[in-house]
Every structure is written in C-alpha cells, then in structure tokens.
Structure 1
C-alpha cells in the first residue's frame, strides 16, 4: 500500500501523522511511504530523516493525496484537504464530526473511507487512540488555566498553589475520565484546592482512593455543579460522550454567579464544548471573555507540545495503520471489531450512529461496509 502523510495546516498545529520511526516500520512491512516536504519540522524531524527511514519526500500535499492509498494525519482535514480526497481513499485521523456538519458533508461527498481515531475502541471499552491526547490536554489545561488566571491575561491574578498565609486557587474539574484525572493530577501537584465532579459512583470511588486528601470528589448533580462553579477560580470542562456532541453543562446564567476574572478551560471543545458560551479558539488567539469570565477554548491544545504529542499519538495509531496497510481496511476491520468502531464515513454513507443522529443522516451499519 502507498501511505502518505502531509504537513498539518490548522492554525498552530505542529504535530505530524507519522514520525520517521513510524515510516521505518511501514517501510519494513513493504509499503511505500510519501511525506510532504517539511511535514515533520514541527517535531524536529527533517526531510532527510524521513528519507533515511525509507520515505519519498514530495513537494506538496496535492502530490501526496494524488498518489497515496491511505492518508495518515492528526487533525481533521481542512477544506483544501477535503477537496483532494477521492472515492475509496482511506483517511485515518482525528475527525470529531459531531459538531462539524460541513466536514461531515464534505467527507460524505468525497466517497472516502474515513477512520476516526477518537471512536476506535479497546477490549475494556476505552478509547485508546484518544487517550494519549486526552492525557496531554488534561495536563495542559492546568498550564493554560494558570496562565489565563494571571492579571495580564484577564484573570483574577491568582496563583494556583497560593503561598504560605494565602489560600490556593479553587480548581473545579467537571468529568473524572482521562482528561479530568490528568488535570486533577497537575492541579493537585501544584497545590491547588481541587474538586472533581462526576456522575459515576465507581469513578468517584476510584478518584477518591487515588487522590485521598489531595483532591475532593463530588457527585455531579445540578445543585453541586452550580455551587462548585460559582466558587471556582478555574473550571476545567472534561466531559466526553464518544462520537457525540458534548453536553452543555455550564450555562450562560451560571457565569453570572462566578467571580470576575475566573477562567473556564473547555477541553471538550473538539466535540462542541461543554460550556454554553464556548466557541473554538486557536493558539494565536486562545481566549475570549464573556460576562467577565475568561474562556480558553483551543481546539488543538496538544499541538503546542507537538513532539511529545506526536510520539505519544504514533505509539497507539501505528499498529492500526500497519494492520490496514498490510491487510487492507476491510480485512483489518473484520479481524478487529475495535478498529471497525473507528469507521465514521464510507462510500458516501455515515457509519457512526451519534454523528448520523446529530446531522440527520441515515445511519449505515459499519458491518455493511465489510460485505
């Protein structure tokens, strides 16, 4: 199979779909690998390193799209990239289609086979291709929130950990999954006063056992959520419904109860965001203010730490890429139902039920694609 990767063109996105080491693995399996010139510079990987690993380096993305059977990316294809997809071509990347009707329509029209990292599952019901970026985003959310809390950036002027004689910041984490756990780890490590809200008693028990006195847990009902948000200096939105749009848990009305200069970091923004007042921002302009509350809603947070993120991502995406390249996507999915769960769009049809419901498409059973 001919496998290609291109330079990411989303604002301040420095990750790349394939590292030189991943190219070496694909080449060792007998596949041809095409890499757009400069694709790896954001992680410090030169074109010469890709050539040494066995890749052919091409001048532009169009050349890669024209020849590759499978395109491996990081972020969802931008409009110019969607226009280069062709029927039957495999696209393997993060898609986050639920909040994005335009992208969904373009992928349906392309006829391509679109596999979304974020809906591939594992035997335990987890999302293994989303997990490393959730770990990165969770940890980064505290860094970003701490910066936004500084007076210069519009915040209250509060130091997360406080100092002797001065109380630390109150950090509220909504959601106790991978993002929330990693956010709480970072916040507690900095000495903040941390509260984690979740609706699962099992999750709350696990978090309570892990954090002991370093963080508090609280059941996420409306009253507890409203009180916690009103008292918070920093709120981390860390909720996820796989494949579907995130629920709007913090309303515009709740902002009126918050302290001026408090900060909301919406890590769920890729799936539409879990704050009513959220809209996607970029690393170029990461924050905006609504009713005196600072919002940080960057949709590709891990792109800021591109080298760490790319290598963490390739560790989990490469095995599936090798399976698809070695066997073809149909046989790879017949052998691995967890990979089949990643199929979102095929032959002009939507095969991910939450996406189909969100945008009004008839849902096609992904097993039909394997027939």
Structure 2
C-alpha cells in the first residue's frame, strides 16, 4: 500500500503521525511511505532520518495526498485539506466528528474512508489510541492550570502546592478516566488538595485505593459539582463519551458560583467540552476570560510537547496501521473488531452512532459496507 504522512497544519500542531521507526516497520512489510518534507522537524525528526528509514519525501502536502492510498495524520483535516482528499482514500487520524458538523459533511461529500483513532475500542471498552494522548493531556492540564493560576496570567495568584504555613490550591477533576486519573496524580504530586468526581462507584473505589491521601473521591452529580466549584481554584474537565459530544457539567450560570481568578481547563473541548462556556482555543491564544473565570481550552494540548506525544502516539497506532496496510481497510476491519469500531464515515455514509446522533444524520450499518 502507498502511505502518505502530511505535515500537520493545524495551529501550533507540532506532532507528526509517524516516526522514522514507524516508517521502517511499514517498509519491512513491503509498503511505500511518502513523508512531506519537514513534517517531523517540530517533533525532533529530520527528513534525513525518514529517508534512512526508507521513506521518500515530497515537497508539498498536495503531492502527499495525491499519491497516497492511506493518509496517516494526527489531527483532523482542516478546511484547506478537504479538496485534497480523494474518493475511497483511507484517513487514519483523530477526527472528533461530534464536535464539528462542517468536517462531518466534508468527509461524507469527499467519499473518504474515515477511521478515527478516538473510537478504536477494545473488548474491555478501553480506547487504545486515545489513551496515550489522554495521559499527556491529563498531565498537561495541571501543568497549564498551575501556570494560569499565576496573577500575570489572570489567575488568583496561587501556588498550586502552597508552601509551609500556607495552604495549597484546591483542584477539582471532573471525570475519573485516563485524563482525570493522570490530572489527579499530577496535582496530588505537586501537593494540591484534590477532589476527583465520577459517576461510577466502582471507578471511585478503584481511585480511592490508588490515590495518595490528598485526593478525595466524590460521586459526580449536579449538587456536588456546585458545592465543589465554589471552593476550587483549578477545575479540570475530563469527561469523555466515546465518539459523542461531552455533556455540559458546568453551565454558564454556574460560573457565578466560582471565585474570580479560578482557572478551568476543559480537556474535553475537542468533543464539544464539558464546560458550557468553553470553545476551542490554540496554543497561540490559549485562554479567554468569562465572568472573571480563566478558560484554557486548547483542543490539541499534546501538540505542545510533540517529541513525547509523537513517540507515545506511534507506539499505539503503528500495529493498527500495519494491519490496515497489509490487509486493506475492509478486510482489516472485518477481521478486527477494534478497528471496525474506529470506522466513522465510509462510502459517503455515517457508520458510527455517536456521530449520527450528534448532527441528526442517518446511521448506516457498518457491516453493509464491509
């Protein structure tokens, strides 16, 4: 199969979808890999490294899309890329269709085969291609939240871990999944007082067992959230419903319960956000203030640490990419239920329920296209 790796062009997206080691693995299986010139530079990988691994470089993104049967990316295509996508071309990337109706319609119209990292799902319901970036984003949420709690950044002027004789900040984490767990661990490690909420009692029991003493677990409901945000200095939104819009756990009118200078970091913003007032921002302009509350809503947080993120992502995606390249997408998805659940759009039809529900569109049976 002919595989293309374009350079990411989303604002301040510094990751690349494939490392030179990934290229070498695909070449070992007899596939042809084309990498756009300088695609890996921001992640620390030179064109020479890709060439030594067996790739050929192409100067423009147009040439990569034109030649490739499968495009491997990190983030969803943006509007300038839509015309480059060919009918029946396989795109393997993060899509988050439920947060973008224009993207959904564009992929239907282009006739692309869209296999989304975020909905590839194992039998235990874990999301193997979302986990590595969720781990990065969860840890970064605290790193960035701590920064924006500083007064020059619009925050309260609170040091997350405090100092002897001065109490540490209070951190509220909404959601006890991968993002929430990593965020709570980081905040606790820095000495903050942490509350983590979830709707699952078994999950809360597990978190209670593994977390240090400065982390408290509380059942997530509207009443408890209202109580907690009134005390919190930093709130991390870490709620995920695979392939669907995140629910709004904090609404606009709830902001008045929070103290001025509180920071909210909505990691779920690429799935619509679990804080109503959050809209996607970029690393270039990461924050905005509503009702004296600092909102950090960068939709590609791991892009700020591209070396770590690229290695972590390729470790997870490469085995699936090899299957798709070796067998073709139809056979690979027919034989692998995990990949099958990754199909969101194919042959001009939506085949993933969460996406169809998000935009009120017709859902087609995935088995009908395989």
Distance 1:123 1:248 in 2: 28
Aligned pair count reads 370
Residue 128 of structure 1 aligns to a residue whose secondary structure is coil
Corresponding residue of 1:41: 41
Corresponding residue of 2:201: 201
Distance 2:83 2:218 in 1: 47
Distance 1:57 1:108 in 2: 29
Map 1:216-227; keep pairs closer than 5 Å. 216-227=216-227
Corresponding residue of 2:117: 117
Residue 15 of structure 1 aligns to a residue whose secondary structure is coil
Distance 1:118 1:201 in 2: 25
Residue 183 of structure 1 aligns to a residue whose secondary structure is helix
Cα displacement (A) at 1:44:
1.1
Does the Cα contact within 8 Å between 2:188 and 2:212 map onto a contact in 1? no
Q: What CA RMSD, in Å, does the superposition of the two structures yield over aligned residues?
A: 0.6
Corresponding residue of 1:239: 239
TM-score normalized with structure 2 length: 0.99
Cα displacement (A) at 1:212:
4.5
Distance 1:150 1:197 in 2: 25
Ranges of 4+ aligned residues in structure 1 off by more than 6 Å: none
Cα displacement (A) at 1:11:
0.5
Map 1:266-345; keep pairs closer than 5 Å. 266-345=266-345
Structure 1: runs of 5+ lacking an equivalent: none
Distance 2:253 2:330 in 1: 49
Distance 2:41 2:195 in 1: 39
Distance 2:207 2:198 in 1: 10
Residues 108-154 of structure 1: CA distance to partner in whole angstroms, max 9, x if unpaired?
00101110000000121100000000000000000000000000000
Does the Cα contact within 8 Å between 1:230 and 1:254 map onto a contact in 2? no
Corresponding residue of 1:158: 158
Corresponding residue of 1:23: 23
Does residue 141 (structure 1) correspond to residue 147 (structure 2)? The answer is: no
Distance 1:65 1:85 in 2: 7
TM-score normalized with structure 1 length: 0.99
Distance 2:254 2:215 in 1: 23
Does the Cα contact within 8 Å between 2:117 and 2:129 map onto a contact in 1? yes
Cα displacement (A) at 1:221:
1.2
Does residue 66 (structure 1) correspond to residue 66 (structure 2)? The answer is: yes
Distance 1:91 1:159 in 2: 43
Residue 144 of structure 1 aligns to a residue whose secondary structure is helix
Structure 2: runs of 5+ lacking an equivalent: none
Distance 2:366 2:42 in 1: 35
